[in-house]
Structure 1
Amino acid sequence: MEILLAVITGLLYGAGVYMILRRSLVKLIIGLILLGNGANILIFLVGRIVKGKPPIIPEDSSTILDTYADPVPQALILTAIVISFGLQAFAIVLIKRAYKVVKTDDLDQMNTTDEYA
């Protein structure tokens, strides 16, 4: 399972970088979304995949002796999802405004010194 998720993470990173390097602003947003999802899966993989082992200390011991699911990467992923959603919403509004002013979503055509009203 870890190998499959590692391959998927690599594919998401590759596709995200490819989309960010395109000239369209819409593809830039899609690339940011793919990179964010790749980062979330990477954090999930770093925390190891353990099925059905909650991090609960039994009453008769002071530490957890068995393998357990680490809750910190899961909390980091939830935080990353919220932050990436906010970033995506801001970027979509910013791109909509830029499109309304410049009348194009091509980055090369936006890279001009002319002033727009």
Structure 2
Amino acid sequence: MELVLAIAIGMLGGSGIWLLMRPRTFQLIIGLSLLSYAVNLFIFSMGRFPVGRPPVLEPGMAGDPAHFADPLPQALVLTAIVIGFATTALLLVVIIAARGLTGGDHVDGKARGE
């Protein structure tokens, strides 16, 4: 399972970086989204999410951290998802305005036919 997760993180990260280098703005947005998904999976996997364990302490259990899931990586990923959504929405608005001003969707601002 760790190998599958590592391959998925690598594929998402590599695809995101490749799309960031493309000249079109839509590809830039998709690349940033894929890169943020890769980082979120990485953070979530570093939290050593135990399978089959309760998320909080049950009554009568000792306070050993090995008996429950760590909520910090889950909270960090949830926060990163919300921030990523807001950033993507802001980028879309800026790109739509830039397309209206330049007449094209290239990252360098060149219009069509130049």
1:9 touches 1:38 (CA, 8 Å); kept in 2? yes
Partner of 2:26: 26
- The percent identity for this pair of structures is 40
**Unmatched runs of 5 consecutive residues or more in structure 2:** none
What's the C-alpha RMSD, in Å, of the aligned pairs? 1.9
Partner of 1:36: 36
**Number of aligned positions between the proteins:** 111
1:55 touches 1:68 (CA, 8 Å); kept in 2? yes
- Give the Cα–Cα distance (whole angstroms) in 1 for the partners of residues 65 and 17 of structure 2: 41
- Give the Cα–Cα distance (whole angstroms) in 2 for the partners of residues 95 and 65 of structure 1: 46
1:11-30 residue CA offsets vs partner (Å, 9 max, x unmatched): 10000000000100110000
Residues 1-117 of structure 1: matches in 2 within 5 Å? 1-60=1-60, 62-64=62-64, 66-108=66-108, 110=109
- The amino acid that maps onto 2:93 is V
TM-score by length of 1: 0.85
**Unmatched runs of 5 consecutive residues or more in structure 1:** 113-117
2:16 touches 2:34 (CA, 8 Å); kept in 1? yes
Partner of 1:115: none
2:57 touches 2:68 (CA, 8 Å); kept in 1? no
Greater than 4 Å deviation, 4+ residue runs = 58-62
- The amino acid that maps onto 1:71 is P
TM-score by length of 2: 0.87
- What is the Cα deviation at residue 111 of structure 1? 6.0
1:48-101 residue CA offsets vs partner (Å, 9 max, x unmatched): 131121243354455226443211000101000000000000000000000011
